Amino acid sequence: MSVSYNPQERVFRLDTPNTTYLIAIVDEEGFLGHAYYGKRIPDDNMQYTMRIFEGNVVPSVNNRDRVAFYDSLPTEYSTFGLGDFRESCLQVLDENGNRGVGLVYQDHRIIPGKPSLEPLPATYGETDECETLEITAYDPVLKLKVKLYYTAFTQIDAITRSALIVNENDQPITLTRAFSACLDLDNRNYDVITLHGAWSNERQINRRPAVPGRQGISSLRGVSSAQENPFIALAEHTATQKSGQVYAMNFVYSGNFMANVEMSEQGLTRMTMGIHPNGFAWNLAPNDSFQTPEVVLVYSSCGLNGMTHTFHDLYRGHLCRGPYRDQRRPSVINNWEGTYFDFNEEKILRIAEEAAKTGIEMFVLDDGWFGVRNDDNSGLGDWYVNTKKLPNGVKGLAEKINALGMRFGLWFEPEMVSPDSDLYRAHPDYAFQLPDRPHSLARNQLVLDLTRKEVRDCVYQQMYEVLSTANIEYVKWDMNRPLTNVGSYAATRENSGEIYHRYVLGVYDLQSRMLRDFPNLLLENCSSGGNRFDPGMLYYSPQIWTSDNTDAIDRLRIQEGTALVYPLSTMGAHVAACPSHMNGRTTPFATRGHVALVGCYGYELDLTKLTDEEKAMIPKQLEDYRNVGDIFRTGDYYRLASFAENGKYDVMMSVSKDQSKAAIVFVQVLTNLRGRSILMQLEGLDENRKYRCNLDGSVRTGAAWMYGGLLLPKLAGDFLSALITLEAVEE
């Protein structure tokens, strides 16, 4: 069993293949204490780790120091107002204006498998893949019930957490903070690891020492954001890719969030994660409930590699869904950087004809096909075909592209509206706005109020008519601005603090409808590139556009940070035109192909403008994607060398699960002037098997390749690359 309860010790345990998590019922009142999380152990009697009897502060022994107890107990779900002055998970405001909350154990049950958190996205598993612990805690004064959910996976070292908060009072209660998880650990000279960034520079790895006080990350942009990804980890200061302890949290949510690390004077470090409390106030009427989004917890005793492999395995097999979950995504050609808004059917077909000759599988028509849309100043919200550009409609264009042997995909931005649009002129109240204040425009567009069902229905009906009348097999769902002026015509003063969260629920509702009505559709999420690359989006789309920055060298850092948590199979990665539209850099066509190979592969350019030499390279690149790309898609990923750290070169590797094949992409950013080739120790191979290297046909044991190393090829020039493969040979 993954979950069990020891009534003698009054301890709950959750086991994964290599980890154990222990929860203790403390003292006569039934406080829920955190006893242990780490490498798997057989013991249940680990309450001593909480030091609850030191200083005689346990209430049953010395009630005069109850505050000292609250402020030192390693707790499972921290609350505000009674004496725990550290970061809290739950804060409320009752009808009398009081804010204190105190939870004690009431009962529990163990559930085979994993209950759904609908309408929220969440990981999933069958009864033989996971088991769930539901602990009910209760505040008898507020008559507030909190059901704490923990799911342990039987084959993956991941534990998920969430909370269901139920008002059993006959008066309403306002939730002013409702986090999903809390983890109290002893201070151990930790580093905090987060993924910071900006548009075109997403998910840059930041590692810094944990210090006394609070530090963390958050987003108030209405999306999880490019600035701060909803991931945070504590790693021992000495932890490396291969060794050391790492504790990580990742939020299965796509809106405002907060994650904090706090070191207290009591010798504890607390991690918390949940919906950002700023702008949040949820009114719980009697008998109403609120479900918090899910947090994924991962512990690794094998350094960052162990953490990464756990996240990748969990998300590939227990978060992504649909027919493409376990399939290679089709290679695509997207016209955006090739044409921008300046296209017609003739120009699109010329690009498609060139693509068909090379073997590219799908054509994706980007922004500009609808309404009056010749630039980004108008048309959003009018999802009907611009017949001046496409005289035969989307249906006619799709048929012509299908006749070339290619599949067809289409771009939408369903969450937005242009002030210059038929939709806005008819329904200005459909957009978020604050009375008597000017619009805060971004990209000259407004955000639709998706908290309202009638707005969602209006948008979806337009999309449905397009998708149901043409053979569209792929949708790129874009979202190009943050939320501001967040006011709804449907909101009252009492529920105005619910708008941000209800907006995210509205997005989830729209994407759920689309996948329900078009179950074979490949959905790719995008938000100004990677503004919403988070686990919540992966529940609906098995791939996400990683960044609008398609420059191969910049992508090394972006893809490294993304792959720290998210599977390579989910990263949209395209070969783009040079000089780069982003930074003016020119890189070889082969290098651009190798960098994109590790993700969901495609091209973002006008194929008619390529040289004959570049066109001739595409069939081999597509062959590599079909063969070698599968190793990156399904295998175990290793970061062997980081350009972000060394400033000279980058080496990424993936090994198939059966350890029979390995693929390595080496990018020499700056020419190696030392005169000696780089000796790179590989990882993840079977020490006792022999592997042949494609560079020179040499055969060595996995032990030799890993401990002796592989000589990387000496390349003469900057921005050059090599694709290296190893394959097991039988003698």
Q: For the segment 635-660, what is each residue's pLDDT rounded down to a tens digit?
A: 999 999 999 999 999 999 999 999 99
Q: How confident is the model at residue 730 (pLDDT cuts 50, 70, 90)?
A: confident
Whether the CB-CB separation of 238 and 305 falls below 8 Å is answered with no
**Residue 438 reports pLDDT greater than 70:** yes
What are the structure tokens assigned to 134, written together? 């539901």
Whether the CB-CB separation of 679 and 666 falls below 8 Å is answered with no
Strand 31-39 vs strand 90-93: parallel, antiparallel, or unpaired? unpaired
589 inside domain: no
Cα 555 off chain centre by: 17
Q: How confident is the model at residue 60 (pLDDT cuts 50, 70, 90)?
A: confident
Whether the CB-CB separation of 1 and 42 falls below 8 Å is answered with no
What are the structure tokens assigned to 261, written together? 């690390």
324 inside domain: no
pLDDT, tens only, 580-605: 999 999 999 999 999 999 999 999 99
- CB neighbours of residue 56 within 10 Å: 11
Q: Which residues are tagged catalytic?
A: 478, 548
pLDDT at 672: 79
Q: Is the dihedral of CA 242, 243, 244, 248 positive or negative?
A: positive
To which H or E segment does residue 233 belong?
A: strand 228-236
Whether residue 411 sits in one domain with residue 539: yes
Whether residue 365 sits in one domain with residue 237: no
Whether residue 392 sits in one domain with residue 513: yes
Whether residue 350 sits in one domain with residue 249: no
Whether residue 339 sits in one domain with residue 309: no
Q: What is the CATH number of the domain that holds 485?
A: 3.20.20.70
Residue that finishes a domain, picked among 545, 565, 600: 545
Whether residue 214 sits in one domain with residue 94: yes
Phi, psi of 572 (to 5 degrees): -65, 125
Instruction: Write the DSSP assignment of 357-392 as a string of letters.
Output: HHT--EEEE-S-SBSS-SSTTS-TT--SB-TTT-TT
pLDDT, tens only, 112-160: 999 999 999 999 999 999 999 999 999 999 999 999 999 999 999 999 9
Q: What is the CATH number of the domain that holds 690?
A: 2.60.40.1180
With a CB cutoff of 8 Å and minimum separation 6, the contacts of 411 are 336, 364, 365, 366, 367, 369, 475, 476, 478
> Which among 157, 152, 156 is positioned nearest to 134, based on CA atoms?
152
pLDDT, tens only, 556-570: 999 999 999 999 999
Whether residue 275 sits in one domain with residue 356: no
Whether residue 390 sits in one domain with residue 289: no
Mean pLDDT of the 358-376 span: 97
Q: State how many domains the chain has.
A: 3
How far is residue 555's CA from residue 660's CA, in Å, rounded to a whole number? Answer: 28
Phi, psi of 595 (to 5 degrees): -65, -40
Q: Which amino acid is located at 426 in the chain?
A: A
**Residue 55 reports pLDDT greater than 70:** no
Strands (E), 279-417: 282-284, 289-291, 294-300, 332-334, 362-365, 407-412, 416-417
92 inside domain: yes
Residue that finishes a domain, picked among 289, 318, 347: 318
Angle CA 301–705–246, to nearest 5: 15
How far is residue 212's CA from residue 45's CA, in Å, rounded to a whole number? Answer: 30
Residue that finishes a domain, picked among 291, 318, 345: 318
Whether the CB-CB separation of 146 and 137 falls below 8 Å is answered with yes
632 inside domain: no
Instruction: Name the residue range of residue 680's domain.
Output: 640-729
Average pLDDT, the chain: 96
Whether residue 184 sits in one domain with residue 38: yes
243 inside domain: yes
What are the structure tokens assigned to 563, written together? 């792959």
Alpha helix positions (H), 534-652: 535-538, 552-563, 589-597, 612-634, 643-646
Strand 474-477 vs strand 522-525: parallel, antiparallel, or unpaired? parallel
Is the pTM for the entire model greater than 0.95?
yes
Whether residue 355 sits in one domain with residue 302: no
631 inside domain: no
Mean pLDDT of the 510-537 span: 98
Whether residue 204 sits in one domain with residue 74: yes
**Which of these ranges, 17-31, 63-77, 444-458, 571-585, has the smallest mean pLDDT?**
63-77
With a CB cutoff of 8 Å and minimum separation 6, the contacts of 347 are 339
Q: Which residue has the tokens 């972000």?
A: 644
Whether the CB-CB separation of 410 and 365 falls below 8 Å is answered with yes
Q: Residue 293: is the preceding peptide bond cis (ω within 30°)?
A: no
> Which among 522, 518, 503 is positioned nearest to 456, based on CA atoms?
503
Judged by DSSP in three states, 38 sits in strand
**Residue 56 reports pLDDT greater than 80:** no
Q: What is the CATH number of the domain that holds 301?
A: 2.70.98.60
pLDDT at 68: 87
588 inside domain: no
What are the structure tokens assigned to 249, written together? 């949290």
Total residues found in the chain within this entry: 731
327 inside domain: no
Whether the CB-CB separation of 214 and 185 falls below 8 Å is answered with no
Whether residue 289 sits in one domain with residue 369: no
